[in-house]
Amino acid sequence: MKRFVFLVLIGFSYLLQAQTIHQFSELKGDYLGQKPPDTIPEIFAPGIVSTSMHEHSFPSFSMDGKQMLWTSGFIDNYTYNFPIRVIETKCTNGIWTEPEFFKGIPLNNSYEAFFSPSANRIYFTSTIEQSEWGVGMGKQDIWYIEKSETGWSAPKNLGFPINTNNAESKPTLTSKLRMYYVGYADSVKNNYGIYRSDLVDGNYQKPELLPKNINSIYLDWTPFIAPDESYLLFSSY
């Protein structure tokens, strides 16, 4: 199956029906049956994935291409006025299911879900500081859930040294589980920068802030790392 890059084009509008995510029709084929773009970016799955809501960050596909997660919410003047939730669709018997809230991450204000290469773990961002999951380390942390024969585990905080008392978000992983993410960086716009951390013996190591040709004096964020680490996509302004 050919793989191609998705660029999320974000728009803003008033919420008409809070519980209606999209107008759905039967979809078949890779990537929800959407026509792969050429050199000109196209809005992905309009009315299904790209809606009048705020589709945040990037969509994530499982490695077999049979499951897609993305974030949807409602934003007005840069303030979220509608709970942010992770949305899911799966390809079953060649047909994509109607998108719905992903039950593996049950609470509001959890977003930016990303499949690990094995698809047995999903990493995500949450602003939940305290819940039945446990206690967060800061105002925004990276969490994960693990898949077993009985389903998804309760969310777990990734912990130190990735999470701190600042804000960490937007996890993306290579095939070797090296993690790229956004964390606190001093003396840059909004104090955000892109970090990476290696997984050694099951534990993430001290994060490394990427060099200045990536982390400029401006805001650099929303990283997406290729599975083989051959390229890095990110936003900057």
pTM here is: 0.83
Number of alpha carbons in the 13 Å side-chain half-sphere of residue 163:
20
130: left (phi over 0), alpha (psi -120 to 50) or beta: beta
3-state helix/strand/coil string of 50-114: ECCCEEEEEEEECCCCCEEEEEEEEEECCEEEEEEEEEEEEEECCEECCCEECCCCCCCCEEEEE
Q: Kindly give the confidence (pLDDT) of every residue in the chain, 237 residues in length, as a single tens digit, with 9 standing for 90 and above.
A: 555 555 444 332 323 333 344 456 789 999 999 988 788 888 898 888 888 777 877 789 998 999 999 988 754 544 545 567 899 999 999 999 998 889 998 777 788 999 998 879 999 998 876 566 666 677 789 999 999 999 999 889 999 999 998 889 999 999 999 999 999 988 777 788 999 999 999 999 999 999 988 998 888 889 999 999 999 999 988
> CA angle 228-229-230, nearest 5°?
90
How high is the pLDDT of residue 11? 34
Q: CA-to-CA distance for 169 and 5, rounded, in angstroms?
A: 21
How high is the pLDDT of residue 121? 94
How high is the pLDDT of residue 102? 92
Distance from the first to the final alpha carbon of the chain? 34
How high is the pLDDT of residue 20? 41
Give the residue carrying structure tokens 């773990």: 121
* Residue among 155, 174, 65 nearest 110 (CA): 155
